[in-house]
Chain A
């Protein structure tokens, strides 16, 4: 199954890269932009027939490795 994991840094944690990109956008005249965040998307294929079971496994991967619980939240999307 195709799985997409989105790892978001929590809003209260600084994102220096996002801030720098936002500044560059403003310099280019895109001054309507704000709250630019450089989040991470991970794509993977996962063997399995039951989407719920696959989701549970991937959420376990997030808790153990893919996301840092100090900084980040995660969301898992499973394409059946």
Chain B
């Protein structure tokens, strides 16, 4: 089973994601954002970075890339779709996850390990975790402050502290169905002892175990 890792211009974590997925025994392939066909892929990951230089708003331009129609199609079939950092911002702009992102409360670009606590295991990101499980994962963002006036976003993991002002201290949020999830910290950067933590593995394993043949 194969995961598409969608590359928008300005994205910079795509190779880390492919490396992490492959290290866990999965299969991942880079897909250019202009691609119009994701047939043969069973899930998708939108990696972090600065798609289209964050012009206008984070994720606002990427949302209209041809590949996003295919990502939405995959999401509608129930396939796992994960957005990491900027990828989550793209998913919000696309309407696949409720809410939007604004600048961090203290206008600080946060680049450090944070601790997140799982609060809901019914999602493609958390299904192999336990409620209350704490994970140490690097956060690397300026606009990680999630707001959701609709109250429809389902928080699946929270920051233990409150680094950025995110509503409900949300670090990861799911759609109602649980198959589309955005996370602000980077699980792919916590998949090797050399990186200082392997706590991201269980999240990516959850994603891989959510794949079903298309």
Interface residues of A (CB under 8 A from B): 9, 12-17, 20, 65-66, 68, 70-71
CB distance B93 to A16 under 8 Å?
A: no
Given contacts A68-B100, A70-B100, A71-B102, contact A13 B56 (CB under 8 A): no
Given the known inter-chain contacts A68-B60, A70-B99, A70-B100, please indicate yes or no for A16 contacting B147, CB distance below 8 A: no
Distance of A70 Cα from B146 Cα, bound (Å): 11
Q: Count B-side interface residues using an 8 Å CB cutoff.
A: 22
A-B contact pairs, 14 of them (CB 8 A): A13-B102, A14-B145, A14-B147, A16-B102, A16-B103, A16-B107, A17-B103, A65-B64, A66-B56, A68-B93, A70-B92, A70-B148, A71-B100, A71-B147
Who on chain A is nearest to B99 by CB? A70
B212, chain A: closest CB distance, angstroms: 31
The reply to whether A20 and B147 contact each other, CB–CB distance below 8 Å, is: no
B93: chain A residues within 8 A (beta carbon)? 68
Partner of B106, one of A13, A15, A16: A16
Q: Is the interface of B mostly helix, strand, loop or mixed?
A: loop
Q: How far is the CB of B71 from chain A (nearest CB, A)?
A: 18
How far, in angstroms, from A79 to B150 measured CA to CA in the complex?
Answer: 36
B interface residue numbers (CB < 8 A to A)? 56-57, 60-61, 64, 92-93, 98-100, 102-107, 145, 147-150, 165
By a CB distance below 8 angstroms, the chain A residues around B165 are: 14, 16
Write the chain B residue with the least CB distance to A21: B107
A64 nearest CB neighbor, chain B only = B64
A26 to B104, CA, bound (A): 21
Closest-CB distance, A52 to chain B (whole angstroms): 26
Give the shortest distance, in Å, between B150 (CB) and chain A (any CB): 8
Measured CB to CB, the nearest residue on chain A to B150 is: A70
Contact A65 B99 (CB under 8 A): no
A70 close to B105 (CB less than 8 A): no
Q: Whole-angstrom distance between the alpha carbons of A27 and B93 in the complex?
A: 36
In the complex, how many angstroms separate the beta carbon of A69 from the nearest chain B beta carbon?
Answer: 9
